[in-house]
Amino acid sequence: MTFCSLEGKRALVTGASKGIGRAIAEELARAGAEVVVGYRTGADEAESLAREIEGRAVQADVSSAEEAARLVEEAGDLDILVNNAGLTRDGLLARMSDDDWRTVIETNLSSVFYTCRAVCRPMMKKRAGAIVNISSIVGVHGNWGQTNYGASKAGIIGFTKSLARELGSRGVRANVVAPGYVRTQLTEVLPEEATAAMLGNTPLGRLGEPNDVAGAVRFLCSDEAAFITGDVLLVDGGLGM
């Protein structure tokens, strides 16, 4: 048998058209899962990925309760839910607009509530399921200019720990993966000095790659992690020590 096999399982990954979400979808498919690629924008990328991994792509804005519920319904009978959809609207709190606050909280945190609410009853009914919510090192330690993002990612941690307590007796697990600084479109725009400072504080001395995060997600979705719930796995090269 293959270690961390997901053979015969169906997974939904949100925010899967690019970056970390794409890597997660590819890794779960490699493990044998049937993967539903959830996306809001990037239809061409999402459809291309779905073809590559022999899955399906479903468009939805998960910051909307109705859209998130429709996405889960169209995905079908799920064994795995990975909430990866997210965005940033960085800025100092003193100058942050209501819209920048609301957009980040709704997209990053409320979406997790909406999708988890939609899957929890079916998963509880069959007394099995794995939920992995993607947070961030910023949700653990905070970061300058990211009060909205930090609040949303810290909220995911508290939400998931509470959810794990609610669902555990029904055989459903809920965990968090908190990436450090990973090479994606979000980090590519950072100033050189900011990247250098991150690397200086990271014991492994490099930025993470999307595949580093994807492997951790695959593990937490698998039966090898059957006794792990309510946990926060930092995938950060040691930055969060």
Residues with catalytic roles: 149
* Integer CA distances (angstroms), 152 to 2, 75, 204, in order: 36, 25, 27
Pairing status of strand 34-39 against strand 10-13: parallel
User: Helix, strand or coil for residue 221?
Assistant: helix
Q: Which of 212, 207, 219 is nearest to 235 (CA)?
A: 212
- E strand map for 105-185: 129-134, 172-179
Q: How many helices (H) and strands (E) does the chain have?
A: 10, 7
Distance CA 192, CA 125 (A): 50
- Contact between 134 and 174 under an 8 Å Cβ cutoff? The reply is no
Element (H, E) at 13: strand 10-13
